[in-house]
Amino acid sequence: MAVLAALATSGATAQSAQRDDLGVEDRDRVARVTAPTRDFSRAETFETLPAGAGTTRKLVNADIFSHPSANLTFEGRQQFLVGNGLFRKDWVSAPSSTQASDGLGPLFNARSCQACHTKDGRGTVPGFDPLERTDAVALLLRLAVPPSTDEHRRLLASGELPFVPEPVYGSQLQNFAVAGLPAEGRLEIEYEPVAVALNGGETATLMKPVYRIEDPGYGPLRDDVQISPRLAPPMIGLGLLEAVHPADILANAAADHGDGISGRPNWVRDARSGQTALGRFNWKASQPTVEQQSAVAFSNDMGLSTPLFPSHYGECTAAQPACFDMPHGAQPRLGEHEVPGELMDFVTTYAVNLAVPQRRDVDDARVLAGKKLFYEANCVACHVPKYVTRRDAERPEHRFQLIWPYTDLLLHDMGEGLADGVSEGQASGSEWRTPPLWGIGLTRTVNPNATWLHDGRARTLLEAILWHGGEAQAARDRVVAMTPQQRADLIRFLESL
């Protein structure tokens, strides 16, 4: 219970930061509503509505992550549906008779957004069984090399460059190419089993991945290249995370959560304003807005130009001259970009309004027992349960909503077991942004082959917990020390989210 008492104190401290969108009365009200609970005998008020008024109450099936926010206007729903079509459509290489859909590549990882974000949920890794491997589409591979020049160091220090790309292959390995070009290579994974003894005589087996790049299409990669696999995350609730006030995020960084936990923000460059901004999205909080995250995916994953990233050649590098000889899909009558600003707006509207499903079984005795254990293990130090979004959020449907995402949107050192050696902005090679947990219990309802963590190595939620190290080591060890029934209750709580 000492952990719970500390949480109550740290929660009050975290909410003491001033929000410029609230008056004094609202500030006090928000602090009361978002304070960590100490009553686990029943569900909290509004706990069934993790996205506030935007929560969807649709039938739970494979499409549960694909519904619009429940409080969208009629016009907003129209824009959402157009964005949905763009998110799902397959792009083709230029020139093509379908001029509004060409421009794919020249190098790319996928033909559509939906190819990676399966039904708007988590992507799929190539597979743990070597006999059932598939192509890596949703699992991307970041490529970086250590800085070697003063210019590299200057760009890194200024935030203009998140990391130094591999000089020939760029910042991401593209495993597909248009006709006439070789792909950059293919990702191969081998897994080494790691046994973990648990209290109560149980044993869990973790799968430790070892990555390598086969069939490099443009010569050998640098010997000192660092690789970081990244699995496509679920899309739900992104607009509400964008509407969390920065003061609340920074207050979490300043609070004393115990266990040596000290989350910190990743300050990154906003491509639209050119200013430094608080990173919120991506596995290392390297993108400040949903719009920018979407535009980066169009550029890096599909080789499509947008107003924020106007190159028609995506990730082509100077060491790949044939790449720049390929035709692009920009059409003068449709605009100067392959994905013009109007289409980007539709895609962004879609991405920020994918609804979070209603919670289930919040009053179940086993779920409440698991929730208490989640708090007592101090998981909530990073997976902060709730916020009230800002009153002046850009979009009306996101304003002043009580939400339950279970994240602090901050970076944490997760230890050597999850480290990839690739720094991104101010995030070190062992730091990762706390992923939101809302909807996690429906992961396999949406994608039966889905797995967890940044590279999909965890086949179960328990495995995901057991991979936690660094700042999360103490919480992980408390889970290991639980009885089998307690661990089952903890997982039952997570499955209710």
- Could you give the CA distance from residue 312 to residue 168 in angstroms, rounded to a whole number? 18
DSSP state of 303: -
Q: Give residue 133's pLDDT.
A: 60
Whole-prediction pTM: 0.94
Which tokens go with 112? 């559509």
CA within 13 Å, CB half, 481: 9
Q: For residues 434 and 285, give the distance between their C-alpha atoms in angstroms, rounded to a whole number.
A: 9
Q: What is the pLDDT of residues 110-142, one digit of tens each?
A: 999 999 999 999 999 987 776 566 666 789 999
Per-residue pLDDT tens over the stretch 210-236: 999 999 999 999 999 999 999 999 999
Say what the pLDDT of residue 160 is: 84
Q: Which residues contact 318 (CB under 8 A, 6 or more apart)?
A: none
Instruction: Give every residue of the chain whose pLDDT is below 50, as ranges.
Output: 1-16
Neighbours of 399 (CB within 10 A): 18
**CA 16-249-122 angle, 5° bins:** 145
**pLDDT on residue 135:** 66
pLDDT at 137: 76
- Residue 15 has a pLDDT of 42
- Residue 264: its pLDDT value, please? 96
* Domain range summary for the chain, segments of one domain joined by +: 24-496
**pLDDT at site 17:** 58
pLDDT at 113: 96
**Looking at this protein, which amino acid is placed at residue 423?**
S
**pLDDT at site 10:** 41
What are the DSSP calls for 162-227, one per residue?
SSBPBTTTBTB---EE-TTS----EEEEEEEEEEEE-TTS-EEEEEEEEEEEES-BTBPPPTT-EE
Question: What pLDDT shows up at residue 156?
Answer: 86
Chain centre distance of CA 190: 24
Q: What is the pLDDT of residue 9?
A: 42
Number of helices (H) and strands (E) in the chain: give both, helices first.
13, 12
Nearest to 270 by CA among 291, 253, 297: 291
Which tokens belong to 385? Answer: 């349960």
| pLDDT of 14 | 41
